[in-house]
Amino acid sequence: MKILLVSDEESPFIWDYFDPEPFKGVELIISCGDLKASYLSFLATMIPAEVVYIHGNHDKNYLRKPPEGCTCIEDMIFSYKGIRILGFGGCKSPRVAPFEFSERAMKRRVARRQFDLFKNRGFDILVTHAPCFGLGDMQDDFHQGFHIFRSLVEKYQPRFHFFGHVHNRYGKNPMIYKLGETTLVNGCGYKIIEY
């Protein structure tokens, strides 16, 4: 299955100069957050694929006007053609604000999904806005990854962990990491992934 992964930066190649040819065969579009709702709605209109998303820390406008034609997979396991996708939006922050969480608050969110994880026997793709701690994150509090995401990946060994939040322009390389059997991909901009 071909997946279009998007996050953080609207691509002029897609939005301003859309050509359907490079996206032929894309069946699923996954957003890791911090994109305009109109951009996701555009993707849902232009590419005949299911569009799913979680919230980035800048997606407060989704509370008023969510992307049209898209499915929010926040705090749930969403199944698409047998692929189990677990979603947690937001970033690490000492503040109390929409889509900003302490490590402790994120652990509570994950703990609430324990029955779902048991019932579904894990998951195949983890979709988050923030990265795992120590894999694609940065040292500052706001761009530091969550320990609980790393624990999830280590325990369940999903095929992929897709995340965003750390932009290409921050000079963070590489954009792809490995942790056990899991490939972790920073979706900043866009990437086409073969599942």
What's the confidence (pLDDT) of residue 136? 87
Secondary structure of the chain in HEC code, one letter for each residue: CEEEEEECCCCHHHHCCCCCHHHCCEEEEEECCCCCHHHHHHHHHHCCCEEEECCCCCCHHHHCCCCCCCEECECEEEEECCEEEEEECCEECCCCECCEECHHHHHHHHHCCHHHHHHHCCCCEEEECCCECCECCCCCHHHCCEHHHHHHHHHHCCCEEEECCCCHHHCCCCCEEEECCEEEEECCEEEEEEC
What's the confidence (pLDDT) of residue 142? 83
What's the confidence (pLDDT) of residue 175? 87
Query: 24-54 burial by CB neighbour count: b if 16+ within 10 A, else e?
Result: eebbbbbbbbbbebebbbbbbeebebbbbbb
Domains of the chain in start order, with CATH, are 2-194 (3.60.21.10)
Query: 66: how many CB neighbours lie within 10 A of its CB?
Result: 16
User: For the whole prediction, is pTM greater than 0.85?
Assistant: yes
What's the confidence (pLDDT) of residue 140? 82
What's the confidence (pLDDT) of residue 137? 85
What's the confidence (pLDDT) of residue 45? 97
Residues of the chain with pLDDT under 50: none
- 170 and 194 in contact (C-beta within 8 Å)? no
